[in-house]
């Protein structure tokens, strides 16, 4: 009998070439938690009938059928390029074995993903819940002092099924978490010691495209507005420098870097993620809340000073030859 708890859970992903058409999952990821689920609405007749006090079985039918939720992962030294590609849109791979850099920038979002979560029942069976037509409509990436960096992906899916075979999880394709130890943040070219930093993206997808088309599931989510890249940073209140940038309406170069272990035979290169943005401060004033040291909240919003890539770029150095 297998393990009948979350210890035996698994997450696997593959890219789809046609929206909503399942592709057998091949990429293995360690997840921390997930909330993917199916929601089938119920349509109940409002018709009146003499003497009826309770809705009859024949007076309701299934309605909109949608799926989605969040996946929480630790930022890892390998395997993340595919996620960054679907978070931002465009990806260019450079380098040669064993060191490759995957550079993701805002662009046309890839078609979609097939995502499978293996959920163990108490009898030890790992049940495959597969999601087709998955698009990342929102994301978060951040870290706190003393912790591992985390990624949160908000997924809009077309459908959920348990009919697909359980993928074969490959634990050898799991790297090492990237943590605060290798994390630094700079603003305007100067390092700022921070307690925490979280960057967020909203791809502004219309995730509820239900139409009269002979199907209960939604059509492919499409961009419906400007993309939004924001963030929240908490630093010690060391001086008026950051406050003055806010007051003056300055735009600054933000660089958030996570450096990991050396890449074997990589000539000194290390596993690394570098996120660069052109940001403005959207506040705020530091306040006194007690006898402790004051902190400086730094809400930021990325704006493009030129091409869209100036708003946000992910440069991911790893051993993966493809995103």
pLDDT in tens, 232-281: 999 999 999 999 999 999 999 999 999 999 999 999 999 999 999 999 99
Dump pLDDT digits (tens) for 275-296. 999 999 998 899 999 999 999 9
Q: How far apart are CA 290 and CA 56, in angstroms?
A: 61
Supply φ then ψ for residue 246, to 5 degrees.
Answer: -65, -50
Which residues partner with 115 through β-bridges? 13, 131
Query: And the tokens for 166?
Result: 């359980």
Tens digits of residue pLDDT in 125-167: 999 999 999 999 999 999 999 999 999 999 999 999 999 999 9
Give, for 246, the enclosing helix (H) or strand (E).
helix 241-248
Q: What is the pLDDT of residues 69-94, one digit of tens each?
A: 999 999 999 999 999 999 999 999 99
3-state class of 131 per DSSP? Answer: strand
Residues 6+ apart with CB under 8 A from 170: 28
pLDDT per residue over 154-201, tens digit each?
A: 999 999 999 999 999 999 889 999 999 999 999 999 999 999 999 999
Region 22-51 average pLDDT: 95
95: which residues sit within 8 A by CB, 6+ positions away?
Answer: 101, 317
What pLDDT sits at residue 321?
A: 95
Question: What pLDDT, on a 0 to 100 scale, did the predictor assign at position 1?
Answer: 63
């Amino acid at each position: 009998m297998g393990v009948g708890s979350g210890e035996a859970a698994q997450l696997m992903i593959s890219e789809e070439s046609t929206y909503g058409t399942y592709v057998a999952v091949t990429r293995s990821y360690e997840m921390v938690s997930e909330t993917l689920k199916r929601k089938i609405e119920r349509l109940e007749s409002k018709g009146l009938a003499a003497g009826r006090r309770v809705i009859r079985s024949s007076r309701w039918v299934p309605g909109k059928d949608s799926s989605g939720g969040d996946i929480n992962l630790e930022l890892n030294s390998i395997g993340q390029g595919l996620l960054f590609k679907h978070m931002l849109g465009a990806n260019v791979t450079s380098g040669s074995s064993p060191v490759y850099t995957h550079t993701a920038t805002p662009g046309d979002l890839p078609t979609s993903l097939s995502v499978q979560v293996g959920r163990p029942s108490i009898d030890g069976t790992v049940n495959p819940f597969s999601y087709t037509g998955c698009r990342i409509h929102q994301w978060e990436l951040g870290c706190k002092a003393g912790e591992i960096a985390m990624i949160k992906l908000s997924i809009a899916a077309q459908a959920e099924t348990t009919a697909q075979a359980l993928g074969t999880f490959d634990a050898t394709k799991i790297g090492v978490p990237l943590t605060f130890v290798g994390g630094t943040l700079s603003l305007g070219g100067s390092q700022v010691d921070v307690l925490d930093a979280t960057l967020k993206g909203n791809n502004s997808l219309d995730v509820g495209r239900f139409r009269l088309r002979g199907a209960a599931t939604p059509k492919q989510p499409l961009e419906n507005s400007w993309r939004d890249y924001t963030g929240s940073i908490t630093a010690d209140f060391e001086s008026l420098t950051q406050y003055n940038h806010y007051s003056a309406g300055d735009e600054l170069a933000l660089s958030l870097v996570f450096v990991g272990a050396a890449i074997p035979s990589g000539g000194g290169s290390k596993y690394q993620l570098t996120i660069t943005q052109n940001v403005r401060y959207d506040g705020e004033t530091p306040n006194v809340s007690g006898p402790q040291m004051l902190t400086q909240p730094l809400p930021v919003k990325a704006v493009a000073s030129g091409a869209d890539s100036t708003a946000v770029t992910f440069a991911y150095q790893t051993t993966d030859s493809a995103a």
